[in-house]
Structure 1
């Protein structure tokens, strides 16, 4: 379960090389990972060739104001939901003009979980906007750091797979 810095770094390099090779720019829209995906992508010098930026939208208010997530989606489904991460991708692409976005919203713990969404529940979305977005739901084990590291790695690998299929 524990994900190392090296594993995350290797996944970020793989994604970065793919983005650069395809001439695409990425933006991240992160909640429970707090910008860790963007940090990992920008650890490599020259990453400005493929990283537009990152939006840490930890609060619902930030999701609404910065990404255009609807209050209705947040009220009905909650922040940790497929509907919200889909809207986060669309909002991030729209706000930045990036070619692709990845969004993450989850319950990293140790508190905050519920029966329906226990600690370790993380929703992901990645895509080119509202027209072409994929999603994934994971239930990670471990402490807060473990959950966040697993989420970062899964996000990087998922976007890589998506771009390889385009």
Structure 2
């Protein structure tokens, strides 16, 4: 997905949120604030984009978003269980109606056989709805860490 397409999708999301009088928040780890930046760059985003949480460390995830340290130890930060807690925590802290969470392995080290570099987990939640989570594996060749923030383009 190119930058123009991303901006179009972000604008369309913003229009839908504005139409419903909803606000949006995101909880990011491996993307380091790029999702929030992309949404904030849309003219008029102040009408629907309320906050963004960049929680890279376990400590930030637990203290800011209320993620369970036990679950972090059991499942790892890059797991559906953790992004579900991240998005729920972001919604609770921000008071937003809609949110997304992203956590991944940026590399070039840190990957495993079951979670190689480029593995990313996403969660999406709306008020009154169940959390939708999904893992995504992205081939980054030798694990170019600088490419990870652009995972927002997925």
Report if aligned partners of 1:85, 1:123 keep a CA contact under 8 Å in 2. yes
The residue that corresponds to 2:76 in the other structure is: 78
Q: Which is worse superposed, 3-12 or 55-64?
A: 3-12
In 2, distance between residues paired with 1:138 and 1:12?
Answer: 20
Higher normalized helix content (fraction of residues): 1
Report if aligned partners of 1:89, 1:129 keep a CA contact under 8 Å in 2. no
- C-alpha distance 91-130 of structure 1, shift in aligned 2 (>3 A): farther
Over the residues paired in the alignment, what is the CA RMSD in angstroms?
1.5
Superposed counterparts of 1:25-64, under 5 Å: 25-64=23-62
Q: Encode CA deviations 1:69-92: one digit per residue, 9 max, x unaligned.
A: 001110100000011000001101
Unaligned runs of 5+ in 2: none
Shift, 1:56, TM fit: 0.1
Report if aligned partners of 1:107, 1:113 keep a CA contact under 8 Å in 2. yes
Task: Give the counterpart of 1:96 among 89, 94, 108.
Answer: 94
In 2, distance between residues paired with 1:15 and 1:145?
Answer: 26
Report if aligned partners of 2:7, 2:38 keep a CA contact under 8 Å in 1. yes
Q: Which is worse superposed, 53-62 or 4-13?
A: 4-13
Report if aligned partners of 1:29, 1:104 keep a CA contact under 8 Å in 2. yes
What is the TM-score of this pair, normalised by structure 1?
0.85
Report if aligned partners of 1:27, 1:92 keep a CA contact under 8 Å in 2. yes
The residue that corresponds to 1:153 in the other structure is: 153
Superposed counterparts of 1:113-132, under 5 Å: 113-128=111-126, 132=130
In 2, distance between residues paired with 1:16 and 1:97?
Answer: 17
Q: How many residues align?
A: 151
Secondary structure of 1:55's match? strand
Report if aligned partners of 2:2, 2:153 keep a CA contact under 8 Å in 1. no
Unaligned runs of 5+ in 1: 155-166
Shift, 1:130, TM fit: 8.3
Report if aligned partners of 2:30, 2:148 keep a CA contact under 8 Å in 1. no
Q: Encode CA deviations 1:56-78: one digit per residue, 9 max, x unaligned.
A: 00111000000000011101000
In 2, distance between residues paired with 1:140 and 1:66?
Answer: 28
